[in-house]
Amino acid sequence: MKRAFYFIFTKSIGFYLNLISFAFPEKANLLAFNLFSQPRKGKLSTKKSSKTLAKADFKKFYYKDEEIATYTWKGNDTVILLVHGWESNSSRWKKTLPYLQATGSTIIALDAPGHGLSGGKEFTVPKYAEWINVLVKEYQPKYLIGHSFGGQTCLYYQSHYQNTSIEKIVILGAPNDFKTILHNYTNLLCLNSSIVKGLEVKYSKVFQRQLDEFTGKHFVSKFKTKGFIAHDIHDTVVLFDQGKKIANAWEDAVFIETEGLGHGLHDENLYNQVVSFLFDNK
């Protein structure tokens, strides 16, 4: 029943956008962009905050008139910054957190634009990376860990900002090709070629580069940071070949193939592998 409703709902939206695109193409393109860039879930309220986040020191930073929600679990001078993915929030790290805390490190997580307790409505990788840069300047993290779109944002961040304080990056279930994800969205809604072209032009302007160049493999080719990539062979959200493309281009990275962990990649053995990678000085 839910699948049937979802099918009818998505096709109805696509039909509406296609219909108005003939008379009002700019309006149709804007609506399609907003629909794709504004998360429908992942928000939090202070009343519904998880127990894990409640134990952290909460702080908001103000950047370009928007609030960046952050959570800090205090430890030593080694700082790890956690970057969650699309339609999620910082509570996604609750299972990973105890393994990172066991190292004695200070752990910091942020809620992405339009997610968790952060402000804003529009989510894009460059905007998310700007927020990461605010926190990197403030806390000087040694390591970044990103899941899904958070992982791709970590790669974009290091490629764009080339921060020498970042020694290692961990990405979990991260996409490589933004263009593929965009086309999956337009195919789902059965959007016409005019809207598809309009979205490609819009995102090329937002990214300030061609979409074919907005890829994880392109980002990692520009820096020497050590990396750890984990991707499940049965991931149905971000397909396995996406992680493989990044791994093939990242010269100094470890690639871990998992099976049965799905897109979430929650597993004690994997957590321990991440910790070993971060704190192995060999």
Measure the CA–CA gap between 83 and 92, rounded to whole angstroms: 10
Give yes or no for residue 107 having a pLDDT over 90.
yes
Query: What is the rounded (10 degree) CA torsion for 207, 251, 259, 270?
Result: -100
Q: Please compute the mean of the pLDDT values over residues 246-273 and round it to a whole number.
A: 97
Give pLDDT tens digits for 31-52: 999 998 988 887 877 646 688 8
Say what the pTM is: 0.93
* Neighbour order of strands in the sheet with 143-147: 57-63, 66-73, 106-110, 79-83, 143-147, 168-172, 226-232, 253-258
Q: Please compute the mean of the pLDDT values over residues 98-110 and round it to a whole number.
A: 98
Nearest to 86 by CA among 52, 111, 120, 117: 111
Q: For tokens 């634009």, name the residue.
A: 113
Residue 102 tokens read as 């066991």
In the chain, what are the domains?
1-37+178-209 (no CATH), 50-176+215-279 (3.40.50.1820)
Distances (CA, A) of 233 to 167, 168, 205, 241, 254: 27, 24, 33, 8, 16
The answer to whether 30 and 203 have CB atoms below 8 angstroms apart is no
Nearest to 145 by CA among 233, 4, 274, 11: 274
Element (H, E) at 176: none
Give pLDDT tens digits for 58-71: 999 999 999 999 99
Give pLDDT tens digits for 234-245: 999 999 999 999
Q: For residue 5, name the pLDDT band (cuts at 50, 70, 90).
A: low
Specify which residues 257 forms β-bridges with.
231
Nearest to 116 by CA among 61, 68, 64, 174: 68
- Burial bucket for residue 200 (CB in 10 Å: 0-12, 13-18, 19+): middle
Nearest to 271 by CA among 241, 228, 216: 228
Measure the CA–CA gap between 109 and 22, rounded to whole angstroms: 44
Nearest to 147 by CA among 33, 48, 243: 243
Q: Please compute the mean of the pLDDT values over residues 123-134 and round it to a whole number.
A: 97
Measure the CA–CA gap between 82 and 153, rounded to whole angstroms: 11
Give yes or no for residue 214 having a pLDDT over 90.
yes
